[in-house]
Amino acid sequence: MTATQPREALAAARDLAPTLARRAAAHDEAGVFPQADFDDLRAAGLLGLMVPTRLGGAGASFTEYTEVAVELATGSGATALIFNMHASVTGALAHVPDDVARSLGASDGYFAARDRILADAAAGALYAVAMSERGAGSRLSRLATRYERRDDGFRIVGSKAFVSGAGHADAYLVAAKAPEPGADGGPIVSYFLVPAGAGVTVEPTWDALGMRATGSHDLHLDVTVPTDALLGGVEGLALPLAQVMPHWLVASYAAVYVGVARSALEAASRHLRDRGLTQLPAARARIGRADAEVAAARLAVAEAARRVDADPAALDTRRWVWRAKLLAGDTAARVTASMVEAAGTSVTRRGHALERLFRDARCGALQPPPSDVCADWLGVAGLGGDPERDTAVPRW
């Protein structure tokens, strides 16, 4: 029943997609967490997708993650986005090689803590990400959330925005800033895995155009966590990690928007067939061009993932990650808009899949880094520059 290999996980995701799709309208309408979807994902073992097999998971690569994400998103974009956050936490932990962790300063206690977190995920724990803040976006260097060391651990105070799955996760990956800058004058940003519970409050701010069921509410933190909640057992890991694993912060949701676009293509095709409208030349041309565009975006996501698995920190990998993010976000927006036009007024009724997909898709290009920023970074790199250095805004 439980997927213990990536191939089984992919099959499980494909099997679950129609069920997710059936529930998607209701979750979207109410803007509620898709509990039934996550019950199914948990039962199928998908929460352990990124967890190494030695800890009870499926040990998936980033490529295998993207394939699962496309399938889940073909069913429900919102469910896939929440799942993406969980996969980011578990995938980043699972994929940082031990020697890299050590070279970044990970303490001895880190490995035990990491394994416990991952084993819990394989057993069904759900993690969320509490990174973005109002005013700072997803740029780590601008965070206002602070922590300070206490005898019994760390006290963390601050507020986070866009926390997908807020109120339904077992723990949150929280980025916070130390009270004093580091030796180099730069901010020290650390990651903590903060358990749900006292001191962690959800403010239901999420009521959005699309991806409504992600419940990406605000999270207010005034909490003291034990010492081993500090990820890596060492402070200041957030920025170096962002450098070696940019894909989890930047583009893991590219796969989600490919799934959304594919779903729109399928919904429009189904609608036209059901109405006997397959002979309309304009509708046919729209389907044909969307088909090619979705296929290309999917290839770009797969290629980015392949390179992430091979060499995550290479500049060329980052360029592929930005390409995948740009193409997936823009394709989803364009394709869903065109599919609504191919299918006509009747699909704008609330409850119709295309009505929801059109709204969900508009969010892709906006998620960080937005399409315009990806285009700028790709432009800098294409002109022989270094996006880290040559763009006005700090990237993290």
Please give the residue ranges that form the binding site for a copy of itself (CB under 8 A). Answer: 162, 207-210, 265, 269, 272-273, 278, 281-293, 295-297, 299-300, 303, 319-320, 322-323, 326-327, 333, 337, 340-341, 344-345, 348-351, 355, 358-359, 362-363, 365-367, 370-385, 390
Residues 6+ apart with CB under 8 A from 13: 44, 46, 67, 68, 71, 72
Nearest distance in Å: CB 363, a copy of itself: 6
CA distance 190 to 128: 16
Does residue 320 sit in helix, strand or coil? helix
Nearest distance in Å: CB 370, a copy of itself: 7
For residue 218, the cross-strand partners are 203
Considering beta carbons, is residue 173 or 327 the nearer one to a copy of itself?
327
DSSP 179: S
For residue 202, the cross-strand partners are 219
Which value, in Å, is the radius of gyration of the alpha carbons in the chain? Answer: 21
Is residue 385 within 8 A of residue 392, CB to CB? The reply is: no
CA dihedral of residues 58, 175, 84, 114 (deg, nearest 10): 10
Nearest distance in Å: CB 263, a copy of itself: 14
Considering beta carbons, is residue 55 or 378 the nearer one to a copy of itself?
378
Nearest distance in Å: CB 361, a copy of itself: 10
Is residue 396 within 8 A of residue 131, CB to CB? The reply is: no
Nearest distance in Å: CB 277, a copy of itself: 9
Nearest distance in Å: CB 116, a copy of itself: 34
Considering beta carbons, is residue 29 or 152 the nearer one to a copy of itself?
29
